[in-house]
Amino acid sequence: MFHNKLVRLPVVIISLFITGSMLVSCTAAVHSPNVPPGSTPPATTPGMSSDVPAEYRGLYNFLDSSLDTMIPRTSDNPGKATTMVASNLLLANSNALPDIADNPRNLTSVGKTLDMFADMGLKVVDVTIQYPTLVKEFPRSQDYLEYYKKVVQEARKRQLKLAVEVGSTFTSPVFAKLPVKDWYEGLTKERYCRKKRQMIETIINELGPDYLALEEEPTTQHANLGLSYTVEDVKYYMDYFLKDLDTKNIPIGAGAGLWDDQGYWDLYLNNPKLDFIDFHIYPVNDPQLSNKLRDLSQRAAEKGKKVVVGEAWLYKTNGREQLGGPVAMSETVFARDAYSFWQPLDIKFIDTLLDMASTYDWEYVNFFWSKCFFAYVDYGETTKDVTKAYALQQQNASINIYKKELTATGKHLKDRLTQQ
């Protein structure tokens, strides 16, 4: 996920950081989102908000049409199950350490956010705790463990299940505050496996999550750690982490992005020690995305494994832009989420994924960017710069959490969940 700069606010810190998702390049070139380049933007279409600016109308239409292709087939038994819904507790993202642990108001803000989650009908809270945060030799790891124990207590008070994915902390100070550069220097596969295994055991024994994913987005881990992360490497890592691991009956899983190599899914599905596979769903421009989701879900069912969607949101690009790096790795694209004119599409994305989840019997879906439940920013002369719009969205979300106010997107999800 995109890590914007940490924004310090008088009321609460909202730390919107990458979690096991895509490495973001601040210097990536992002060209016009319209398709095709140079064409006249299409007029507004039925269902499109009239305030969609001309420069985004082509992209709006493209995303709308892409979502239409994801509607599950009637023959796939829609309505089979009720899926739990999750969102990420951005205020407790470990990439924002040590700031969040040191802020005296953080836990109060965490509690208010969890109150909103529970009131909306969410059943699972996703908490990002990245390697090497809880490795014993890592500076202040005991302080961070105590902090996360308190976060878990707040979640349990509200009867929320806890999901944890163990990715890796980012190295750029723009994206993360945790000092990991020296830790990663000269990192070997053996040391990585040994220390991460200890951290996994600490999470199991001290935090006791309801779901624990040991791997996510292999291409992102390679970029962060500097280690090889081929399918063969991931098999080596997973075998090391899982050997004689006392899981205390906590479901264990592993995942990747739907843009990653198919071989990772084959590896996870054929590992008898994994209880679930974990989808990360962002770009919807892949015409085969719906088929991939259906086929992998069916294969998981045949293997007796559950499916979770560990991260998902509607990525605002057509897939043809020059992003300066791999798919789903643009700071500018993630910042586009701030604009309020996207709300009809964000709502459609939520409905589409929940329909798929019910059809394919997914355990839970994590709509990652919880900030969009609490605030958007109207597009205008002073907010054309996506970076400014994104910062303003964070500020408004912080305020609205305390005011207990939801956006139309948040209200729609609450209505859908509380009326089930």
Residue 207 phi, psi (nearest 5): -110, -30
Counting other chains too, the contacts that 293-298 makes at CB distance below 8 Å and 24 or more residues apart are: 293/70, 293/258, 293/356, 293/360, 294/72, 294/76, 294/360, 296/265, 296/269, 297/360, 297/361, 297/362, 298/360
Kindly give the confidence (pLDDT) of every residue in the chain, 420 residues in length, as a single tens digit, with 9 standing for 90 and above.
Answer: 434 333 333 333 334 433 334 333 333 344 445 544 444 444 445 455 568 999 999 999 999 999 999 988 655 554 545 899 999 999 999 999 999 999 999 999 999 999 999 999 999 999 999 999 999 999 999 999 999 999 999 999 999 999 999 999 988 766 678 999 999 999 999 999 999 999 999 999 999 999 999 999 999 899 899 999 999 999 999 999 999 999 999 999 999 999 999 999 999 999 999 999 999 999 899 999 999 999 999 999 999 999 999 999 999 998 887 765 545 557 788 889 999 999 999 999 999 999 999 999 999 999 999 999 999 999 999 999 998 999 999 999 999 999 999 999 999 999 999 986
Is the bond preceding residue 344 a cis peptide, omega within 30 degrees? Answer: no
Burial class from Cβ neighbours inside 10 Å (0-12, 13-18, 19+) for residue 293 reads: buried
CA distance 39 to 338: 25
Q: Which domains does the chain have, with CATH numbers?
A: 54-361 (3.20.20.80)
Residue 126 phi, psi (nearest 5): -95, 120
Q: What is the pTM assigned to this prediction?
A: 0.88
CA distance 103 to 169: 20
- Beta strands 84-88; 306-312: pairing state: unpaired
Contact 340, 54 (CB under 8 A): no
